[in-house]
C-alpha cells in the first residue's frame, strides 16, 4: 500500500499555521474530501463539528468553502465531542462527518478527523484517495451546483439522548454527586447535561472555554484538579474528558485516579457478569500487564494491538470483539457506539458500580496495576531496532529474569526521534533499575553503530 503523506493514525494534525495545518490547505482538503466522499452525482451531505480552540473559526470556514466548491452540502454542528459527530453522521445518513480538533493537545495545535457514513473512521483506501485528489487542481462546480451550508440546531439534544440511552433502562444516577471536568473543550455543554438528566448532582469544571485554555491544567491529561475537587466536595466520582471528548479518566471517591486500563477492567467484568461480553478484550502494547492478568483470572481472552485507537478497532473487528481501549482512556464499546466516547464510557463504568451497589473504588478492585517505567532513548528515525541481535539478546535475557509477571517493550515513537524503552514487573524499584540498564545498553549499541558509520 502507498505511504500516506498527510494522514496519521488519527487524521491530519499539526501546529496551527505550519503546513499542512493552514487555511489554504484545509480549504483544498475540504474540496478533495468532497470529491472522494460525495455521491456519484457529485453531491451529498457532510457534518462538521469542532472543539473550542480559537483556530477553529478559521478552519471551519475554510473546510466549509472547500466542500461547497465540490458540490457537497454542509451541516454545521458547532462545538461537539468527536463521538457525537460519529453518531450523528450515522443517524442523519450523511456521506461523512468531519471533526476539527487536536484532541488532548494545546490550542496551538489543530487537526482534521473524518468519519465515514457508518460512523467509523476512514479506512486507508479512502485516506489515500483524498491525498490523491489533493495533488490535482481545485475545480469548482458550476455555481448552481455549489453546496449549501446550514446549522443543525438540535445536535446537542440528539447526542445527549443517545448517551443517556447507552445504559440500560432503570439505571439512575440519582443520589450521586459527580465532578465533571470537560477540559474546556468540546464536551463543555453536553457532557454535564447527560449526567444531570440521569439524576446526578453535577459539579462542573473545565466548562469555561476561551479558545486558548483547552486542555490547560485540566481534563484527562491533568486530573490533579479533578482529584482535589472530588475530595473537597465529598463526591462519589470524578469524570475527566479530553479536549474533543473521546477519552476519559475517572477519580474514585477516595481521590484515586482510574486510568483507561482500570475502566476497561470494570466494564469488561460487568459485561461478562450479564453475559454480554463477546470475543477478546483488546488493549495495546502499552496496556498494563495487570489488566491482562486480571482478565485471564476470569478466563477473558486479551489481545494487544499497536498503539492507537484505530488499531484497537481493527483488532476488535478482526476477532469479533466488542470492548477495547487504551491506558490513556480511549475506550471503544462497540455494543454501544462506533468510536471512543468519553461520556458513554464513563456511563458504562458508573452503571457497573450501581448495578452491584458498589463504590467506584470497589468496582475497580480485582485488578492490580503493575509498576511500569519508561525511558526515551534518542535514536535516528527509520532505524530497525529489533533487527539488531544484541538488542534482541538483551531483551530476551531481561524477559527471562522477569518471568510471567513482567514485560519488556521497545517501541519507536511516532512523533519524536526516540525509542521508548518500557519495563513492567512486580517491584517498582527493580523495574526502574531494569529499565535504566536496558536503556543504557540500547544507547550503547546504537552509539557504537553511529561511531562505526562515521569512521567508514
Asked whether the beta carbons of 23 and 62 are under 8 A apart, the reply is: yes
Asked whether the beta carbons of 9 and 414 are under 8 A apart, the reply is: yes
**Catalytic annotation, pick one of 103, 116, 166, 205:** 103
Asked whether the beta carbons of 272 and 262 are under 8 A apart, the reply is: no
Residue 43 annotated in active site: no
Q: Give the C-alpha separation, 247 to 270, whole Å.
A: 20
Q: What are phi and psi of 88, to 5 degrees?
A: -70, -35
Q: What are phi and psi of 256, to 5 degrees?
A: -85, 140
SS (HEC) of 265-291: HHHHHHHHHCCCCCCCEEEECCCCHHH
Asked whether the beta carbons of 63 and 30 are under 8 A apart, the reply is: yes
**Which cell numbers in the block locate residue 136?**
490535482
> Count of H helices and E strands in the chain?
14, 18
> What are the angstrom distances between the C-alpha of 285 and each of 123, 248, 257, 407, 423?
22, 19, 21, 10, 12
Report the SS3 class of residue 113. strand
Query: In which order are the strands placed within the sheet that holds 323-325?
Result: 302-305, 281-284, 323-325, 331-333
CA atoms in the 13 A half-sphere facing the CB of 177: 10
Name the residues annotated as catalytic.
103
Amino acid at each position: 500500500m502507498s505511504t500516506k503523506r498527510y494522514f496519521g493514525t488519527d487524521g491530519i494534525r499539526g501546529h496551527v499555521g505550519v503546513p499542512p495545518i493552514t487555511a489554504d490547505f484545509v480549504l483544498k482538503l475540504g474540496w478533495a474530501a468532497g470529491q472522494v466522499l460525495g455521491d456519484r452525482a457529485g453531491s451529498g451531505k457532510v457534518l462538521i463539528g469542532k472543539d473550542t480552540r480559537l483556530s477553529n473559526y478559521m478552519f471551519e470556514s475554510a473546510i466549509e468553502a472547500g466542500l461547497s466548491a465540490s458540490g457537497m452540502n454542509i451541516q454545521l454542528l458547532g462545538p461537539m465531542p468527536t463521538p457525537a459527530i460519529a453518531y450523528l453522521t450515522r443517524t442523519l445518513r450523511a456521506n461523512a462527518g468531519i471533526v476539527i480538533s487536536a484532541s488532548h493537545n494545546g490550542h496551538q495545535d489543530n487537526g482534521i478527523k473524518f468519519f465515514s457514513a457508518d460512523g467509523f473512521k476512514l479506512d486507508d483506501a479512502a485516506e489515500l484517495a483524498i491525498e490523491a485528489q489533493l495533488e490535482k487542481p481545485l475545480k469548482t462546480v458550476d455555481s448552481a451546483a455549489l453546496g449549501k451550508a446550514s446549522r443543525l440546531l438540535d445536535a446537542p439534544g440528539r447526542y445527549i439522548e443517545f448517551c443517556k440511552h447507552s445504559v440500560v433502562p432503570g439505571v439512575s444516577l440519582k443520589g450521586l454527586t459527580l465532578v465533571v471536568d470537560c477540559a474546556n473543550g468540546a464536551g463543555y455543554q453536553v457532557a454535564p447535561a447527560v449526567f444531570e438528566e440521569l439524576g446526578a448532582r453535577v459539579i462542573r469544571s473545565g466548562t469555561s472555554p476561551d479558545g486558548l485554555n483547552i486542555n490547560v491544567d485540566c481534563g484527562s491529561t491533568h486530573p490533579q484538579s479533578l482529584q482535589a475537587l472530588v475530595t473537597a466536595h465529598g463526591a462519589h466520582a470524578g469524570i475527566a474528558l479530553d479536549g474533543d471528548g473521546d477519552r476519559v479518566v475517572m477519580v474514585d471517591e477516595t481521590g484515586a485516579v482510574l486510568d483507561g486500563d482500570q475502566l476497561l477492567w470494570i466494564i469488561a467484568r460487568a459485561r461478562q457478569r450479564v453475559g454480554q461480553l463477546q470475543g477478546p478484550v483488546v488493549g495495546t502494547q502499552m496496556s498494563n500487564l495487570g489488566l491482562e492478568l486480571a482478565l485471564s483470572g476470569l478466563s477473558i481472552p486479551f489481545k494487544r494491538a499497536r498503539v492507537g485507537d484505530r488499531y484497537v478497532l481493527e483488532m476488535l473487528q478482526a476477532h469479533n470483539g466488542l470492548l477495547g481501549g487504551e491506558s490513556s482512556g480511549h475506550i471503544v464499546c462497540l455494543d454501544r457506539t462506533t468510536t471512543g466516547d468519553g461520556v458513554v464510557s464513563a456511563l458504562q463504568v458508573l452503571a457497573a458500580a450501581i448495578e452491584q451497589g458498589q463504590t467506584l473504588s470497589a468496582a475497580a478492585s480485582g485488578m492490580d496495576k503493575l509498576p511500569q517505567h519508561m525511558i526515551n532513548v534518542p535514536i535516528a528515525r527509520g532505524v530497525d531496532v529489533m533487527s539488531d541481535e544484541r538488542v534482541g539478546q538483551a531483551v530476551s535475557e531481561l524477559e527471562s529474569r522477569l518471568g510471567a509477571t513482567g514485560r519488556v517493550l521497545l517501541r519507536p515513537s511516532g512523533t519524536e526521534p526516540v525509542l521508548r524503552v518500557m519495563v513492567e514487573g512486580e517491584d517498582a524499584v527493580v523495574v526502574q533499575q531494569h529499565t535504566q540498564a536496558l536503556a543504557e545498553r540500547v544507547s550503547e549499541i546504537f552509539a557504537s553503530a553511529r561511531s562505526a558509520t562515521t569512521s567508514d
